[in-house]
């Protein structure tokens, strides 16, 4: 049973602009049993919810703010992306025109410059709701704003404290956020978020098969290439700044159905929406091998559950604790290409 989640919501109309001041991000004090939120164990407070890794020292994995998710551009126009090295977890999703955007999750540490920040999509509801995250975005289409509001998702548009334009870059690829400032807007006692995935030990991971390299194909125009190294997985066509790449120990590929969000972008391209409910094939990559399985998600605010096997032999697939990149690869028009 997952711990009870405290979902932070905000009543907004149209776009949401919040105000506040800057500040740092200090670790929590060690919790006593009386301080633990209902349904949350002391053992859970000793691991980070977005990585499953142990908390260092005598701190706990309970901040005085929610998880923050930054929507980031993922095209060559965004290069170099900043801040990914401090992310706990990243989800890559299809957007219009066959390109992708990133939802970068920050909880353990907050960078003072992350981006380029771009707009939200309806797909983001199912991505952020399981941990009650607040979203940092440049904005969204009115249809998306209405759905985010209806879902109770807190978000920060351009103009919120912490956001600024880098005049050395071209718009719209020059909006960045100082998360240490934005976080002040949602400070207050909150329960530890749910674990984003079922975390476990690499020793318990099924053997799977060798997979030294693989490619997540989102469309004819975009493929994300991965290669296994002794230190984890390297994204060979990343747009991240040198030395600021995401430190992926795991890559989780979920094959998802993609529908039409019901509107077009300014260029007339239909906006896709990935369906993050139901079930589909999954592939977990760790330490140069791939384990195949099935993902399921009962509702947009429910966690992703992973299993291996079938029928009576079906077992929960736990993701080794560590930094994980999740690829939402379309069932139709997408592909997963695996090398030995």
State the pTM of this model: 0.87
Residue 28 pLDDT = 40
Residue 56 pLDDT = 85
Residue 339 pLDDT = 87
Is-contact 275 329, C-beta < 8 A? no
Cα–Cα distance measured from residue 192 to residue 210, given in angstroms and rounded to the nearest whole number: 36
Within its chain, how far is the Cα of 51 from the centroid? Answer: 11
Cα–Cα distance measured from residue 214 to residue 217, given in angstroms and rounded to the nearest whole number: 10
* 3-class secondary structure per residue, the chain: CCCCCCCCCCCCCCCCCCCCCCCCCCCCCCCCHHHCCCCCCHHHHCECCCCCCECCCCCCCCCCCCCEEEEEECCHHHCCEECHHHCCEEEEEECHHHCEEEEEEECCCCCCCEECECCCCCHHHHHHHHHCCEEECCCCCHHHHHHHHHCCCCEECCCCCCEEECCCCCCCCCEEECHHHHHHHHCCCCCCCCCCCCEECHHHCCCCEECCEEEEEEECCEEEEEEEECCEEEECCCCECCCCCCCECEEEEEEECEEEEEEECCCCCEEEEECCCEEEEEEEEECCEEEEEEEEECCCCCCCEEEECCHHHCEECCEECCCEEEEEEECCCCEEEEEC
Residue 60 pLDDT = 83
Of the CATH numbers 3.50.90.10, 3.90.79.10, 3.40.50.1820, 3.40.50.261, which one belongs to the domain with range 33-186?
Answer: 3.50.90.10
The CA angle 22-28-31, to the nearest 5 degrees, is 155
Residue 51 pLDDT = 98
Residue 3 pLDDT = 34
Cα–Cα distance measured from residue 271 to residue 251, given in angstroms and rounded to the nearest whole number: 25
Residue 270 pLDDT = 87
Residue 35 pLDDT = 44
Is-contact 211 340, C-beta < 8 A? yes
Domain ranges for the chain: 33-186, 199-339
Question: One digit per residue, pLDDT tens: the chain, 340 residues?
Answer: 333 222 333 333 333 333 233 334 543 444 443 344 555 666 667 999 999 999 987 778 889 999 999 999 999 999 999 999 999 999 999 999 999 999 999 999 999 999 999 999 999 999 999 999 999 999 999 999 999 999 999 999 999 999 999 999 999 999 999 999 999 999 997 889 999 999 999 999 999 999 999 999 999 999 999 999 999 999 999 999 999 999 999 999 999 999 998 888 878 888 999 999 999 999 999 999 999 999 999 999 999 999 998 667 789 999 999 999 999 999 999 999 998 6
> In CATH terms, are 33-186 and 199-339 the same topology?
yes
Residue 191 pLDDT = 87
**Under CATH, which number does the domain 199-339 receive?**
3.50.90.10
């Amino acid at each position: 049973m997952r711990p009870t989640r405290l979902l932070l919501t905000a009543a907004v109309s149209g776009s949401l602009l919040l105000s506040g001041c800057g500040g740092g991000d200090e670790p929590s004090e060690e919790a006593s049993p009386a301080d633990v939120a209902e349904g949350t164990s002391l053992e859970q407070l000793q691991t980070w919810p977005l990585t499953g890794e142990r908390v260092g020292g005598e701190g706990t994995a309970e901040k005085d703010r929610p998880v923050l998710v930054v929507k980031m551009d993922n095209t060559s126009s965004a290069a170099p992306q900043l801040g990914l090295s401090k992310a706990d977890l990243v989800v890559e999703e299809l957007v219009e025109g066959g390109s992708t955007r990133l939802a970068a999750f920050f909880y353990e540490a907050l960078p003072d410059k992350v981006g380029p920040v771009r707009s939200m999509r309806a797909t983001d509801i199912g991505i952020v709701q399981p941990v009650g995250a607040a979203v940092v975005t440049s904005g969204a289409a009115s249809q998306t704003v209405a759905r985010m509001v209806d879902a109770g998702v807190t978000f920060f548009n351009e103009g919120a404290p912490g956001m600024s334009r880098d005049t050395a870059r071209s718009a719209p690829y020059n909006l960045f956020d100082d998360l240490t400032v934005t976080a002040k807007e949602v400070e207050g006692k909150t329960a530890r978020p749910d674990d984003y995935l079922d975390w476990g030990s690499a020793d318990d991971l099924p053997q799977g098969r060798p997979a030294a390299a693989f490619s997540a194909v989102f469309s004819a125009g975009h493929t994300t290439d991965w290669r296994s190294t002794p230190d984890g997985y390297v994204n060979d066509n990343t747009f991240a700044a040198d030395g600021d790449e995401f430190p992926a120990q795991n890559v989780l590929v979920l094959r998802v159905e993609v529908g039409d969000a019901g509107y077009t972008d300014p260029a007339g391209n239909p906006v896709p929406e990935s369906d993050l409910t139901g079930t589909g094939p999954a592939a977990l990559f760790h330490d140069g091998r791939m384990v195949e399985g099935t993902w399921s998600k009962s509702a947009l605010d429910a966690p992703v559950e992973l299993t291996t096997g079938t029928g009576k032999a079906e077992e929960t697939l736990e993701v080794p604790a560590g930094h994980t990149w999740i690829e939402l690869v379309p069932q139709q028009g997408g592909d997963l290409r695996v090398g030995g």
